[in-house]
Amino acid sequence: MKLVVANGWDPEGLEDVKKSFPNIEWVDGKTPEAMNEHIVDAEVVYGHVNSEHMKVAKNLKWVHSHSAGVDWVLRVPELIESDVVVTNTTGGHADTISEHTIGMLISLTRGFPHLARAQGEKRWAQPLEFKPIGLSGRTMGVIGLGNIGSAIARVASAMQMKVIAVDARKLDNPNYVERCDGLDKMPQLLQESDVVVVTVPFTPQTKDMINAAEINQMKDSSYLIGISRGGIINEEALAAALKSGKLAGAAVDVTAVEPLPSDDPLWEAPNLIITPHCCGTSEQTFREVTEFLRTNLNKYLAGEELVNAIDKRAGF
């Protein structure tokens, strides 16, 4: 069996996996030239594929994505229409992303950027130039209560926040969420929440899901955080809400265009934390994602059902 490695995720862990499967032909497809050469007769790809790859792939059976988000599949109609199974690493990034999310929130509410600037200037910043906010007793609204949204909700609940959520699926309330409603109740969530966290996948239906109208439904001086994919929170509306003071602050780990261009107005928006799509990166996630590959390789070779097979048409 020929397996093409099309990403550079955790090379040390991947070498360990290779030792467990000596009969697999592992080939490097991390450059466009190598990918075009090897995809022709590959049976498995670890990474992503595009339309050009699918047009020449003659033996492809399975694509295992190293990421939880698989919105890229929606841009490959040849893959959607094929019998190729696509799996992802849902669950492998959740704890690290929740820590990153809560870290950004605390940074905003405790004014860490202001304090860091004062430290850089060797200045004792008293009286404070901002009004610190405590999170205990505040309400967090989570839009999308999947693995990542649930991990964030658990931490927020442990911090004595009230957590409410909406999701496209009908879900039972976990004990750390006061209620979980359908997406039709999103306006109510926006109106009640002091902090709104967006974790839904990017699909045609979620594009610009949080636009000016939705932000205007939020409490004055609330916080908005986006950590799943860019394009779900409308960035023009976000920047306007920060400049007007409608939002007290915001944080994004993802943007519609990545890397974010140096002349993008988002860089100049006040009280905004931007991190470069790194919220899921840690030693732990390297290990978890690599173990997903090992688990699914064992299942594939045994002819068993793979873990985390996605709905290609839905994009998640």
Query: What is the tens place of the pLDDT at every residue in 70-126?
Result: 999 999 999 999 999 999 998 899 999 999 999 999 999 999 999 999 999 999 999
Residue type (1 letter), 220: D
Sheet strands (E) in 160-271: 162-167, 179-182, 195-198, 222-226, 247-252
> In the chain, what are the domain boundaries?
2-90+283-301, 94-274
Model confidence at 10, pLDDT cuts 50, 70, 90, reads confident
Q: Decide if pLDDT at 24 tops 90.
A: yes
The pLDDT tens digits for 183-200 are: 999 999 999 999 999 999
- The CA-CA-CA angle for residues 55, 257, 100, to 5°, reads 110
What does the pLDDT read at residue 86? 98
Asked, colleague to colleague, whether 2-90+283-301 and 94-274 share their fold, the answer is yes
The CATH topology of domain 94-274 is Rossmann fold (3.40.50)
* Long-range contact set of residues 132-135: C-beta below 8 Å, sequence gap at least 24: 133/109, 133/248, 134/109, 135/105, 135/106, 135/109, 135/159, 135/160, 135/161, 135/195
**CATH architecture of residue range(s) 2-90+283-301:** 3-Layer(aba) Sandwich (3.40)
The pLDDT tens digits for 293-307 are: 999 999 999 999 999
What does the pLDDT read at residue 35? 96
What does the pLDDT read at residue 139? 98
List the one residue out of 47, 96, 100 whose CA is nearest residue 285: 96
Q: How many angstroms separate the CA atoms of 173 and 32, rounded?
A: 46
Q: Residue 17: phi, psi to the nearest 5? A: -65, -40
Q: What is the pTM of this model?
A: 0.92
Specify the residue for token string 């993802």. Answer: 254
Model confidence at 9, pLDDT cuts 50, 70, 90, reads confident
List the one residue out of 21, 20, 26 whose CA is nearest residue 4: 26
- CB-based contact 70:310 (threshold 8 Å): yes
The pLDDT tens digits for 270-287 are: 999 999 999 999 999 999
**What does the block give as tokens for 36?**
């075009």
Q: Decide if pLDDT at 8 tops 90.
A: no
Indicate the average pLDDT of the chain. Answer: 96
What does the pLDDT read at residue 177? 98
Return all residues near 193 (Cβ < 8 A) that are at least 6 apart.
139, 140, 141, 164, 218, 219, 222
94-109 and 147-158 helices, crossing angle to 10°: 50
What does the pLDDT read at residue 42? 98
Q: How many CB atoms lie within 10 A of CB 1?
A: 16
The CA-to-CA distance between both ends of the chain, in Å, stands at 27
The pLDDT tens digits for 244-254 are: 999 999 999 99
Burial class (CB in 10 A: 0-12, 13-18, 19+), 189: buried
The pLDDT tens digits for 117-174 are: 999 999 999 999 899 999 999 999 999 999 999 999 999 999 999 999 999 999 988 9
